[in-house]
Amino acid sequence: MNYHVFNGDADGLCAVHQLLLSNPVRTELVTGLKRDIRLLERVKAHAGERVTVLDISLNSNRAALVQLLETGVAVEYFDHHYAGEIPVHPHLSTHIDTSAGVCTSLLVDRHLEGKYRSWGIAAAFGDNISESASRLALQNGLVQPQIEKLAHLGECLNYNSYGETLEDLHFHPLALYEAMAPYPDPFDFIAESAAFKELAAGFLEDTRMTASLRPLLQHAHHAAYLLPDAAWARRVSGVFANKLANDNPACAHAVITIDRAGGYKVSVRAPLANPQGADVLCMKFETGGGRKAAAGINNLPESALDTFLARFAEQFG
């Protein structure tokens, strides 16, 4: 039995799509919301079976990974988030690179030697590593209208992964993957898929709602926004954070959404001009993690908001 375990965002979706286009094995797919990062705990594999992990932190899944390896499960791991110490085990192979201009789909693209590169480019745009995405697109002979289509596709796929519950999303990530699966070429998916048209319409409507938002904290080098308690705000939080980062490349941004279970969820973007420190900041909090350029906190207690804002200002002041 094969298992593919992947983040439900653009990077995870495009990574698993590339691998399964290249090697269409029978597999059980395991995914969830963007912030569902401890996905390996859901895998009940047995000795001799194979698990491929895509775009979730090894450090956050360490205990489950070690248990699988000790059971005799072969694991192949693709990721660009903070990993900590990587276990040395004969059943584990890794493709881990935490550099700021890399995402998991680009690691898969590298592994497949560019076989489905346009999907990797779309994922890179969705992960807001636009410089890497644009450079690779131009090297691949794409022209500007094509590049803009892939950028929009990546943004829409990523947008669908944000929400407090699956009910907040337009599509369960598994359903979105199933809509993508018949399309080796993302331009055909854009042109023909009813799922993409629905997703793009939702993206447009929700991004329009952000026009009235005002910062909770603003400084020359950093700004923080508190979004309202609404499904549209939860869906658009990642897209809004990326837009802020792109519009103000010298500035760091934090987008804070209300967690209906109590406290807040936080998305942090380091300045694009110096994409460092988002992971350092977020890992100071119990449920924080991510990568250098973009990171988050899954549950920030209400009482810790002022502490977060102070540390955010200190990190990016």
SS3 2: strand
Q: 272 and 299 in contact (C-beta within 8 Å)?
A: no
- Give tens-digit pLDDT for 181-222: 999 999 999 999 999 999 999 999 999 999 999 999 999 999
**Rounded to whole angstroms, how far apart are CA atoms 275 and 252?**
9
- Would you state the pLDDT for residue 252? 97
State residue 161's pLDDT score.
95
In this prediction, residue 261 carries a pLDDT of: 83
pLDDT tens digits for range 63-72: 999 999 999 9
Mean pLDDT of the chain: 96
Task: Determine the Cα–Cα distance for residues 192 and 288; give it in Å rounded to an integer.
Answer: 38
Q: What are phi and psi of 261, to 5 degrees?
A: -85, -5
- Is 130 in contact with 158 (CB distance < 8 Å)? no
Residue type, 134: S
Average pLDDT over residues 120-129: 96
Containing 30, the helix (H) or strand (E) segment is strand 28-30
Query: What pLDDT sits at residue 198?
Result: 97
Q: pLDDT-derived band of residue 302, with 50, 70 and 90 as boundaries?
A: very high
Q: Contact at 8 Å (CB) between 224 and 253?
A: yes
Tell whether the model's pLDDT for residue 160 goes beyond 90.
Answer: yes
Return the pLDDT at 226. 96
User: For 12-59, how does the pLDDT look when each residue is reduced to its tens digit (9 = 90+)?
Assistant: 999 999 999 999 999 999 999 998 999 999 999 999 999 999 999 999
Average pLDDT estimate for 288-303: 92
In this predicted structure, which of 193-197, 226-230, 289-293 has the lowest mean pLDDT?
Answer: 289-293
Burial of 250 (0-12, 13-18, 19+ CB in 10 A): exposed
C-alpha 187/C-alpha 248 separation (Å) is: 30
Structure tokens at 201: 């319409």
Look at residue 89 in the predicted model and tell me its pLDDT.
97
In percent, the amount of the chain with pLDDT more than 70 equals 100
Quick one: pLDDT at residue 25? Answer: 97
Per-residue confidence at 100, pLDDT binned at 50, 70, 90? confident
Burial zone of 283 (CB within 10 Å; 0-12 exposed, 13-18 middle, 19+ buried): middle
Cα–Cα distance measured from residue 187 to residue 160, given in angstroms and rounded to the nearest whole number:
19
Strands (E) across 159-270 are located at: 217-218, 222-226, 252-258, 264-269
Statement: residue 303 has pLDDT above 90: yes
CA distances from 8 to 56, 84, 89, 229 (A): 10, 22, 27, 22
pLDDT tens-digit profile of 230-280? 999 999 998 899 899 999 999 999 999 998 889 999 999 999 999 999 999
| Distance separating alpha carbons of residues 9 and 6, to the nearest angstrom | 9
**Paired residues of 30 in beta bridges:** 5
What's residue 317's pLDDT? 85
The predicted structure's pLDDT at residue 95: 98
* All domains of the chain in start order, with CATH: 2-202 (3.90.1640), 213-316 (3.10.310.30)
Share of the chain above pLDDT 90, in %: 93
